A and B are shown apart, each in its own frame.
Chain A
């Protein structure tokens, strides 16, 4: 086939009914404040690792909460735990705790 330089994006549908929310519920139970996230992206904007890579904390924790664990552990492992995100979070979410928690909970996915 002739390659015209176009591609088709993968479908980005998240089906919460089909996803296994067991881990996600555990995470929210341990860190309920995560639900107060307004998705402003300040965490990602200041992120030390995000400055060097494509790491996006807001995206990863949002996906994890929706039961999309694929690749989340590897992504979270890019975090250097410096804590800037915690200082800029307008909702005062314990982001460093969230990183540690997600890594611990979904390490075997």
Chain B
């Protein structure tokens, strides 16, 4: 039996080239992983983690479950292409075995099996396989048709915008669109000439047979298989350099993630897996407020990852991000977009200067004594009502408080960290940590989610419980240390701060506190889908006018609830939203302090 024909060459060359490039990439990335990561892999590879990773590969790489949740039509498109193609290959393999028994068949023999059946004078027919293969081909073709239609009308699959592609992406994309129609034509002509084929290829074969003469069909027979092979070959050559690299990269990424590898504050080889696992599906574009509210089409995560992948990253793209985390929330590959952008900022940061913040030595501006420490944070010092309200709450609850920075203190370090200057930020972290230890606090309360996040993630405060004031107030109310007057007439709406919600996973506590006071009316975008106020300290690129525009658009949605007061739990959000709404904006602590029963005003 022969399993070679000249037309197979483009396919063989393409496949071999792709295999080499992909293997070379993986080996290089794995080799450069930090030692600690390699240890994690060695520990995880022969454990149950590999099994759960396999299950996730099936769910995500083949079925694309997370995209189904974004939009079912978009999900179907991805499933039909990925899972459909996979089944075509897998069942094609089984088909060869069914025809020829267990014997070695070269790769092209499996892929172009329909061509080699008449060529090798195989007489047996298995119509069941013909039917299944035709069904699968139809499944994939429906996906291709949707993908093609999506290019022209992305709203049909629930996306306002799709990605602008690079040249390699276009080549690969065009080749991919050609593969399956080319296969359909080649198999149909074969069916017309030699029989076989089911409802799709057989049916189309009959149609071709009735239109064209046998001589015409014979003359384009080889050419049709050449076209199919060339489309495959071209796709394979372009694939490792295009978005389609995600097809393979997502698989090792899922395994590595299950072995607990994560991107870190500084760039590492692991990042390559995340970056090249991005399929540039563009799902991250729509949630980006810089896009939807400011019309900026250059800076979204998909373009950031693209630029970083091809080494053409510019500072202004890296800096222009609110780090609100709305894109990370929807990314179907689960890429740690914020961490990657942050470690790019670290790489591009200003020259570190060892002598920085020497002036911090010996500084202690704190007041009072107590086991509970209160860290207002820079932003709270600009919203003195919050500070005053916290004082009232502490007084009412009879709490002895150590005030870390009532009359100005040292910044928590997160704004500096977000600008990439982690080494400088570390000096502030050390300073504040030292103060917390010296004053022997056991609980640290802060009314600023920015500070809260850095305390929890970067401070390593063993023995000190870090609480956001919403958590702390709720605890006081539950323990009965704080009595609140409930008034159903009062209506509030709540704006989720990014650092508190998506950043620290605190959604319920502020809501519970508001509901003890009055009635809460939710805005359209809330919790995980909440908008960013626009003033995020992570963005040093947008202008004041742009910040105001975002605040107004976010404010309009909050005003649409018709609630009397807009409540938020972040001093920066309060400042920002204040510029976007007419009605009163208050911090959570303010409305609590106004409604305390047990207080001597």
Contact of A88 among B319, B356, B382, B548 (CB under 8 A): B382
Q: Among the interface residues B360, B537, B540, which one has the most CB atoms of the partner chain A within 10 A? A: B540
Cβ A97 vs Cβ B540 within 8 A: yes
**Closest beta carbon of chain B to A98's beta carbon, Å:** 9
Cβ A48 vs Cβ B543 within 8 A: no
CB closest chain-B residue, reference A54: B359
Cβ B544 vs Cβ A94 within 8 A: yes
Cβ B350 vs Cβ A84 within 8 A: no
Q: Is the interface of A mostly helix, strand, loop or mixed?
A: helix
Cβ A84 vs Cβ B379 within 8 A: yes
CB closest chain-A residue, reference B547: A92
A103 proximity list for chain B (CB < 8 A): 350
Given A100-B350, A104-B350, A78 and B540 contact (CB-CB distance below 8 Å): no
Q: Number of residues in A with C-beta < 8 Å to the partner?
A: 27
Residue A81, interface by CB 8 Å: yes
Contact with A along B317-345 (1 / 0, CB 8 A): 00100000000000000000000000000
- The distance in angstroms between the C-alpha atoms of A86 and B559, with both chains bound, is 26
- The distance in angstroms between the C-alpha atoms of A70 and B114, with both chains bound, is 78
Residue A20, interface by CB 8 Å: no
Cβ B408 vs Cβ A94 within 8 A: no
Residue A28, interface by CB 8 Å: no
Contact of A51 among B353, B408, B535, B542 (CB under 8 A): B408
A51 proximity list for chain B (CB < 8 A): 365, 408
Cβ A94 vs Cβ B575 within 8 A: no
- The distance in angstroms between the C-alpha atoms of A77 and B425, with both chains bound, is 11
Cβ A87 vs Cβ B410 within 8 A: no
CB closest chain-A residue, reference B353: A77
Cβ B381 vs Cβ A84 within 8 A: yes
Q: Which of A46-79 contact B (CB under 8 A)?
A: 46, 48, 51-53, 74, 77-78
- The distance in angstroms between the C-alpha atoms of A29 and B541, with both chains bound, is 14
Cβ B541 vs Cβ A82 within 8 A: no
Cβ B544 vs Cβ A52 within 8 A: no
Residue A33, interface by CB 8 Å: yes
Cβ B382 vs Cβ A87 within 8 A: yes
Residue A80, interface by CB 8 Å: yes
Cβ B357 vs Cβ A78 within 8 A: yes
Residue A96, interface by CB 8 Å: yes
Cβ B350 vs Cβ A81 within 8 A: no
Given A94-B544, A97-B540, A100-B350, A81 and B410 contact (CB-CB distance below 8 Å): no
Contact with B along A5-47 (1 / 0, CB 8 A): 0000000000000000000000000000100000000000010
Given A80-B410, A88-B382, A93-B544, A52 and B359 contact (CB-CB distance below 8 Å): yes
**Closest beta carbon of chain A to B10's beta carbon, Å:** 50
Cβ B357 vs Cβ A107 within 8 A: no
Q: Among the interface residues A48, A81, A84, A96, which one has the most CB atoms of the partner chain B within 10 A? A: A81
Residue B586, interface by CB 8 Å: no
Cβ A82 vs Cβ B415 within 8 A: yes
B548 proximity list for chain A (CB < 8 A): 92
Q: Among the interface residues B356, B379, B544, B545, which one has the most CB atoms of the partner chain A within 10 A? A: B544
Cβ A80 vs Cβ B544 within 8 A: no
B381 proximity list for chain A (CB < 8 A): 84
Contact with A along B386-416 (1 / 0, CB 8 A): 0000000000000000000000111101011
Cβ B411 vs Cβ A82 within 8 A: yes
Residue B446, interface by CB 8 Å: no
Residue B554, interface by CB 8 Å: no
Contact of B408 among A52, A77, A104 (CB under 8 A): A52
Residue B585, interface by CB 8 Å: no
Cβ A83 vs Cβ B378 within 8 A: yes
**Closest beta carbon of chain B to A28's beta carbon, Å:** 15
A92 proximity list for chain B (CB < 8 A): 543-545, 548
Contact with A along B410-434 (1 / 0, CB 8 A): 1101011001010010001000000
Residue B27, interface by CB 8 Å: no
Cβ A100 vs Cβ B419 within 8 A: yes
Q: Which of B526-581 contact A (CB under 8 A)?
A: 535, 537, 540-545, 548, 572, 575
A46 proximity list for chain B (CB < 8 A): 382
**Closest beta carbon of chain B to A35's beta carbon, Å:** 14
B413 proximity list for chain A (CB < 8 A): 80
What are 8 residue pairs bridging A and B, where the CB atoms are less than 8 Å apart in the complex? A51-B365, A78-B357, A78-B359, A80-B413, A81-B421, A92-B544, A96-B419, A100-B350
Binding site for A on B (CB under 8 A): 319, 350-351, 353, 355-357, 359-360, 363, 365, 378-379, 381-382, 408-411, 413, 415-416, 419, 421, 424, 428, 535, 537, 540-545, 548, 572, 575
Kindly list the 7 A-B residue pairs having the minimum CB-CB distance in the complex, ordered from nearest. Answer: A92-B544, A82-B378, A80-B411, A51-B408, A82-B411, A81-B415, A97-B540
